[in-house]
């Protein structure tokens, strides 16, 4: 507990102790009697005068005056005694109200509490006035504790920010602030230290904990040439890293900026509550005055009771439970998502995410890994090993993803001495001389050009044909590798309440149909250019659907921007993804999408619970107060108690809901 909270707790305990003493020990009566007995014209002296005075009427008048004086004295004593615990517990509230009034900021919670308690003192409800301030401060303490709890998620995220960097300069090690490290310098990261800036490993092998960035606890093995991102924790061995970005452009800075600025983009619920409070609070002050005047003029309740009911209405009607708990709920939801490697750029996107009923996905890099692999080898006249051997030799000098997948499938040493002249035929394939013979490796158009008697494969995918001269030797089928969790993620999306799942891809019909069937997608559109993807998305939006588009954040920026919610997959270190998307997933796990939707829906459910609960309780206590069935203590519960309960409920957003 912070020093400020400890001081508040001490004041609460001291004020409560004094109230208990004043309630059970008749200090007020003793002190009042003592002061009255010392005053000239006290009740005792008046009685003596009655016995000795020649005029009984004159003595009676003197006694009446003395009695009134004694009553006023005792009232002043009571006020002074109860002001002691009142000021102990409420001085900072009074100070805050006066400061805000000086700035022209009326009608906030502190102002309402000051009016209510001053009014209670004015009508002689001294204990109740002090108790109201005590309960209010107790509620504020609980509120502060609850808010701190909800901020722990963000605070833990802030811990990923490294405090220093060890730079190798002039043959030695120099410890500097990360912001002072320039691009291209080499930093040393020892075991247990955080990677300070994005870069590439120059030397050393180790395992990195990237949980703070991706939400995944499984360490990542890294070696020279591997990209590393700031905020990762080095686990095993020292690494030398060549920086590739300035500190302000590094991954950790981008993440922190996103989370810190997320509350600037408010949801409709937050905007409504803020606007509501702006007009609501002055209105209830006016209503409280009208209630007091109405009761005094049109009922036989009396002035004190009428004012009391107006004050009661004033206390219970304060909208602080809504004003505090609703933004806190969104803040907690964003914090919970960030701990799981899901960065939501604002409360408005969290609210939009909760309404999603249609999810549209790109294929390459989203449903698939974006890396090609050999699916099938269909030889003709020769065996499969010989076919893949010829194709791998021919493709060994190419950097095309299809060529690299063939070489990887070969998996053996490639004897470059067997390879002669190699010519790349744009848009068709490769002509290569192997062991003195001419071979052609490529697509169907290449086979047609050389006059080979080939046939297309019945399997979907990219087909690479192989021919020796015009003699057809067979073909190899290559497909983009499906992500292992794609089918399960689609099932989780449906379990999360998503009614329609659609795939948009530029790939051919056969490949699209196979991927859609394998992962369980409802509908797909194949052979699309980027502009065509936007058109398909706009058609879905015109159906009044709430659409989220999931892509890689680089090639799909137009569609990400157009969707109700744009979700970028595997965006660790990607500038384009962070700029284009509304929600950024820091790894390639499709399971984060339904998880993000569950977090959003849980957050909105809690927001609605707090709104309904707060309004219901306040209206109920207002009615009870109007009927004379509620006192100021219950009114404080309707304000502070409801606030604390709403905040504790809002803190539930920090717990990530299970599938």
CA distance 280 to 619: 14
CA distance 614 to 322: 7
Share of the chain above pLDDT 70, in %: 82
Structure tokens at 263: 């509350």
Angle formed at CA 651 by CA 89 and CA 214, multiple of 5 degrees: 135
CA 112 vs. chain centroid, Å, equals: 32
- Cα torsion through 567, 572, 577, 582, rounded to 10: 40
Backbone torsions φ then ψ of 653, nearest 5 degrees: -65, -20
pLDDT at residue 598 tops 80: yes
Structure tokens at 356: 């999603």
What are the Cα distances from residue 371, in Å, to 214, 442, 480, 483? Answer: 21, 19, 6, 10
CA distance 409 to 399: 15
Backbone torsions φ then ψ of 422, nearest 5 degrees: -130, 130
Q: What is the pLDDT of residue 552?
A: 74
CA distance 50 to 67: 14
pLDDT at residue 171 tops 70: yes
| Least confident piece of the model among 72-81, 386-395, 559-568 | 72-81
What are the Cα distances from residue 207, in Å, to 220, 235, 316? Answer: 5, 6, 57
Average pLDDT, the chain: 81
DSSP alpha helices (H): ranges in 412-548?
444-450, 486-495, 509-519, 530-541
Strand ordering across the sheet containing 471-482: 368-379, 471-482, 462-468, 437-442, 429-434, 419-425
Average pLDDT over residues 263-280: 63
What are the Cα distances from residue 101, in Å, to 97, 275, 279? Answer: 6, 20, 17
Q: 30 pLDDT band (50/70/90 cuts)?
A: confident
Within 14-97, strands assigned E span none
CA distance 291 to 313: 8
pLDDT at residue 207 tops 80: yes
Residue-wise pLDDT for 451-477, tens only, equals 999 988 888 878 899 999 999 999 999
| Least confident piece of the model among 34-48, 299-313, 634-648 | 34-48
DSSP string spanning 182-214?
PTT-EEEE-TTPBP-S-EEEEE--EEEE-HHHH
Greater model confidence, 603 or 636: 603
Is residue 617 within 8 A of residue 378, CB to CB? The reply is no
Structure tokens at 333: 């939801």
Angle formed at CA 253 by CA 249 and CA 259, multiple of 5 degrees: 135
| Look-up of token digits 């192997």 | 434
Greater model confidence, 41 or 627: 627
**Catalytic choice (177, 357, 362, 582):** 362
Q: What is the pLDDT of residue 269?
A: 64
Is residue 362 within 8 A of residue 556, CB to CB? The reply is yes
DSSP alpha helices (H): ranges in 317-356?
320-339, 347-354
Is residue 401 within 8 A of residue 510, CB to CB? The reply is no
Q: Is residue 474 left, alpha or beta, with left meaning phi > 0 and alpha meaning psi from -120 to 50?
A: left
Is residue 467 within 8 A of residue 440, CB to CB? The reply is yes
Residue-wise pLDDT for 422-442, tens only, equals 998 877 889 999 999 999 999
CA distance 580 to 557: 6
Comparing C-alpha atoms, which of 273, 261, 276 is closest to residue 326? 273
Q: 108 pLDDT band (50/70/90 cuts)?
A: low
Tell me whether residue 362 is one of the annotated catalytic residues.
yes
Is residue 597 within 8 A of residue 565, CB to CB? The reply is no
């Amino acid at each position: 507990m912070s020093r400020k909270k400890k001081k508040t707790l001490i004041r609460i305990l001291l004020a409560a102790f004094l109230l208990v003493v004043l309630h059970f020990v008749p200090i007020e009566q003793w002190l009042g009697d003592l002061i009255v007995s010392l005053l000239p014209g006290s009740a005792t002296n008046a009685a003596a005068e009655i016995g000795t005075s020649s005029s009984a009427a004159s003595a009676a008048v003197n006694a009446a005056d003395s009695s009134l004086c004694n009553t006023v004295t005792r009232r002043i004593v009571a006020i002074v005694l109860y002001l002691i615990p009142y000021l102990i517990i409420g001085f900072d509230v009074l100070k805050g109200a006066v400061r805000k009034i000086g700035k022209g900021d009326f009608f906030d919670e502190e102002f309402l509490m000051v009016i209510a308690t001053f009014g209670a003192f004015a009508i002689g409800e001294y204990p109740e006035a002090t108790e109201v301030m005590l309960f209010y401060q107790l509620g504020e303490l609980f509120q502060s504790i609850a808010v701190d709890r909800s901020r722990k998620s963000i605070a833990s995220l802030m811990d990923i920010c490294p405090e220093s960097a060890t730079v190798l300069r002039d043959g030695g090690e120099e410890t500097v602030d990360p912001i002072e490290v320039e691009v291209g310098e080499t930093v040393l990261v020892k075991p247990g230290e955080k990677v300070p800036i994005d870069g590439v490993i120059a030397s050393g092998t180790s395992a990195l904990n990237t949980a703070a960035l991706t939400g995944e606890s499984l360490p990542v093995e890294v070696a020279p040439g591997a990209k590393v991102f700031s905020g990762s924790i080095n686990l095993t061995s020292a690494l030398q890293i060549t920086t590739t970005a300035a500190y302000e452009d590094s991954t950790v800075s981008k993440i922190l900026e996103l989370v810190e600025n997320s509350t600037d983009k408010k949801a409709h619920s937050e905007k409504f509550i803020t606007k509501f409070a702006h007009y609501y609070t002055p209105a209830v002050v006016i209503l409280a005055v009208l209630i007091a005047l109405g009761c005094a003029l049109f009922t036989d309740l009396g002035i004190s009771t009428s004012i009391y009911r107006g004050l009661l209405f004033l206390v219970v009607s304060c909208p602080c439970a809504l004003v505090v708990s609703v933004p806190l709920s969104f803040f907690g939801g964003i914090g919970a998502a960030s701990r799981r490697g899901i960065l939501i750029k604002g409360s408005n996107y969290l609210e939009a995410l909760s309404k999603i009923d249609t999810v549209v996905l790109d294929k390459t890099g989203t449903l698939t890994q974006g890396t090609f692999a050999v699916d099938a080898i269909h030889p003709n006249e020769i065996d499969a090993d010989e076919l893949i051997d010829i194709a791998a030799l021919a493709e060994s000098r190419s950097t095309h993803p299809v060529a690299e997948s063939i070489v990887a499938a070969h998996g053996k040493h490639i004897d470059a001495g067997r390879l002669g002249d190699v010519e790349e035929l744009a848009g068709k394939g490769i002509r290569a001389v192997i062991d003195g013979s001419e071979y052609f490796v490529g697509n169907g158009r290449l086979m047609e050009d050389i006059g080979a008697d080939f046939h297309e494969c019945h399997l979907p995918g990219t087909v690479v044909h192989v021919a020796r001269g015009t003699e057809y030797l067979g073909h190899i089928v290559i497909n983009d590798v499906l992500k292992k969790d794609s089918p399960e993620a689609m099932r989780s999306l449906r379990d999360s309440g998503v009614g329609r799942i659609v795939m948009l891809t530029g790939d051919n019909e056969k490949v699209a149909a196979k991927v859609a069937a394998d992962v369980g997608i409802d509908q797909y559109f194949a052979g699309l250019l980027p502009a065509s993807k936007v058109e398909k998305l706009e058609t879905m939006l015109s159906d009044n659907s709430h659409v989220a588009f999931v892509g890689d954040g680089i090639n799909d920026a137009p569609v990400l921007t157009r969707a109700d919610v744009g979700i970028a997959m595997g965006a660790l270190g990607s500038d384009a993804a962070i700029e284009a998307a509304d929600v950024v997933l820091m790894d390639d796990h499709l399971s984060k999408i339904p998880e993000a939707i569950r977090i959003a829906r849980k957050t909105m459910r809690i927001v609605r619970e707090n709104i309904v609960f707060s309004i219901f309780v306040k209206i109920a206590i207002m009615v009870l107060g109007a009927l004379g069935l509620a006192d100021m203590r219950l009114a404080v519960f309707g304000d502070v108690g409801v606030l604390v309960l709403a905040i504790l409920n809002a803190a539930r957003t920090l717990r990530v809901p299970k599938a």
